[in-house]
Chains A and B, each alone.
Chain A
Amino acid sequence: MNALKRNNVRVIGDGKRAMVLAHGFGCDQNMWRFVAPEFENEFQVVLFDHVGAGGSDLSAYDKTKYSTLHGYADDLVEIGAALGLKDAVFVGHSVSAMIGVLASIKAPDLFGRLVLVGPSARYIDDGDYKGGFSEKQIAELLEFLEDNHMGWSAAMAPSIMGNPDRPELGEELTNSFCRTDPEIAKAFARVTFTSDNRSDLSKVTVPTLILQCSQDIIASEEVGKFVRDRIPGSEIVFLEATGHCPNLSAPTEVVTAIRAYV
């Protein structure tokens, strides 16, 4: 299996150092469209889609492998190996923050810096730990995803399930970014929102920056501080940007913060 093809890897820019940008749940590498060009001159910017999202190879989707974040982290390590990456900067949004953490534990030489945008080590409350969601709410989310993929599955599935002969099928669709296979999206949602990586944080040996948005209902400030407290020597920067996607809503602020750190 060719990792570069499987994950629809794109490399732009010709800097010496590599910067890997990893998208989170709900989108694909398009998520970085306002950020990636800013680093083109200094970095070799690596963009990719997790299997099941965007232009990834859907046939590579393996239920068992991707039933935990480790499957996604293994892919990331393989992409790094295929490109011969060492000491790269990793920028992971949302759930990809933890995927990057796992990958850096698996392959300590791969990344020299981690930038975690809106990370959460666990989304579901657990005793004193406040992840922000109850188990019941996550169950509702999984069901709700079907409601929203309802309209998509018929129209989109054929075009994304591999219909290269008829690209126009995809063109007609209004929601042209961040396509995901509905079944895989649901499974990814389950893996994301039921993950618990709290015990992995202390194993990180790489300098780490956390970018924390204000009023992010997916990853609250409390959750961000928890990650900061557990990753040895990590720093946190509080962004003015609100919501969960500062890389889209406030790219300049994100770019400035990353540049200052790396």
Chain B
Amino acid sequence: MSEPGSDEYRELFEHAPCGYLTIGPDGRITKVNATLAKWTGFAPDQFIGQRLHQFLNMAGRIYYETHIAPLLWMQGSFNEFALDFETAAGERLPTIANAAERRDTDGGVQFTALVFIKAADRRLYERQLVDSRSELRVSLANERQTAELREQFIAVLGHDLRNPLAAISAGARILQRSGNLQNEKELRVLDMINSTVTRMSDLIDNILDFARGRLGGGITLHRAIRPLEPVLEQVVDELRTASPQRVIQTRFEIADPVNCDHTRIGQLASNLIGNALTHGARDMPVRVGAKTNGNEFEFWVANAGEPIPDSAMEKLFEPFFRGDVRASRQGLGLGLHIASQIAQAHGGRIDVTSSPEETRFAFSMPLAQADERIGKP
């Protein structure tokens, strides 16, 4: 190896594939290598005695004064910063720079050495990354806003749909109580009104829950310990009224207290039984059961009829999934989705088995209370 100061070292300093520059303690340039002189188009002696910022564009000057100089004073070095030279021809020369101070034993600055790497392509590439990131941000913000508006709309729609329905329902009740409707055809119409109101009301409940879930609230439970059987009986009664031509058999054996949200479990039951009435064989009964076994509460709904195809199995609980049914019975495809959300919120689950003999949805939840709120992580 040659000695420092030899021609070989000088050669390395002058013609290295990067720019070198040193600044004295008074902030004036003391040395510059041939590479940097060549890149910038200035002669080396045009640098000596000048200040670095004179060779930078304005943005670089401000950045150097407000960021780089303070950091050099505080930590003695600064790596990987972008700096733009302005060449003799007035062009921009983008670089990436490192800087380090050399101090004497008393802590005084002897000189500051800077190294510059030409970085036109790299800086361009980084600029493109920044641009595409800001584009993404804008479109993400737009998407979020659209989604929020859509969900608010659904929520408002759900509310507004309830009012006319309440009026229809009240009207039907008045007619029923008046006893004026006698002939069979009129009574069938009344049944139909009741049935439609129930179905519509369930649909609206589901829409609201779905919108609310998506709005970030998740399904909130109001747990209590009181008899669950009357709730289930009432749900079944309503569905019997709504579908008088169908048979719903029940078997409830709830021995232990169930700590749950009774309204929600009623909604889950209604959704599962409604699903069985829609998809099950019309001439066969829908069987409903509930029991506790010490550790778990179980509720199941079984119907006969065509089994659920394998292809549909996976998607059963996804929102807006609708099986093949008559158009007149088609809902929004939210019933099972919301039932599964209610199950999850109770720390439970819904299992499905389907064969030519029987299709069964079985909900089970632990009796020991788990989390209050699920649906949102």
Whether the pair A140, B82 counts as a contact (CB closer than 8 A) is no
Whether the pair A144, B59 counts as a contact (CB closer than 8 A) is yes
Q: Which chain A residue has the least Cβ–Cβ distance from B53?
A: A217
| Cβ–Cβ < 8 Å partners of A150 in chain B | 82, 126-127, 129-130
- When A144-B84, A147-B127 are in contact, do A242 and B27 touch as well, CB less than 8 Å? yes
Whether the pair B66, A218 counts as a contact (CB closer than 8 A) is yes
Interchain CB contact (< 8 A) of B74 among A30, A137, A144? A30
| Cβ–Cβ < 8 Å partners of B70 in chain A | 26-27, 31, 177-178, 245, 248
- When A137-B58, A141-B63 are in contact, do A147 and B123 touch as well, CB less than 8 Å? yes
Interface residues on A, range: 35 or more
Measured CB to CB, the closest approach of chain B to A172, in angstroms, equals: 12
B62 within 8 Å of A (CB atoms): yes
Whether the pair B51, A174 counts as a contact (CB closer than 8 A) is no
Within 8 A of A (CB), among B123-178: 123, 126-127, 129-130
| Cβ–Cβ < 8 Å partners of A178 in chain B | 67, 70-71, 74
Whether the pair B75, A177 counts as a contact (CB closer than 8 A) is yes
A143 within 8 Å of B (CB atoms): yes
Q: Which chain A residue has the least Cβ–Cβ distance from B58?
A: A137
Whether the pair A217, B61 counts as a contact (CB closer than 8 A) is yes
The DSSP consensus for interface residues of chain B is helix
Q: Which chain A residue has the least Cβ–Cβ distance from B77?
A: A174
A33 within 8 Å of B (CB atoms): yes
What 1/0 flags go to B66-103 for Cβ under 8 Å of A?
11011101110111111010000000001000000000
Whether the pair B51, A215 counts as a contact (CB closer than 8 A) is yes
**A-B pairs with beta carbons under 8 A, tally:** 98
Q: Which chain A residue has the least Cβ–Cβ distance from B81?
A: A148
Whole-angstrom CA separation of A137 from B63 in the bound complex? 12
Whole-angstrom CA separation of A41 from B58 in the bound complex? 41
* Most chain A CB neighbours (cut-off 10 Å) among B51, B73, B123: B73
| Cβ–Cβ < 8 Å partners of A133 in chain B | 58, 62
- When A143-B59, A242-B27 are in contact, do A26 and B74 touch as well, CB less than 8 Å? no
Whether the pair A25, B66 counts as a contact (CB closer than 8 A) is yes
A146 within 8 Å of B (CB atoms): yes
| Cβ–Cβ < 8 Å partners of B35 in chain A | none
Within 8 A of B (CB), among A178-208: 178, 193
Whether the pair A26, B59 counts as a contact (CB closer than 8 A) is no
Whole-angstrom CA separation of A242 from B73 in the bound complex? 13
Whether the pair A245, B65 counts as a contact (CB closer than 8 A) is yes
Nearest 4 A/B pairs, CB to CB? A26-B66, A144-B59, A248-B73, A137-B58
A contacts, CB < 8 Å to B:
24-27, 30-31, 33, 94, 133, 137, 140-141, 143-148, 150-151, 174-178, 193, 215-218, 242-245, 248-249
Other A-B pairs, 4, CB within 8 Å; known A177-B71, A243-B27, A245-B65? A148-B63, A150-B82, A216-B65, A243-B69
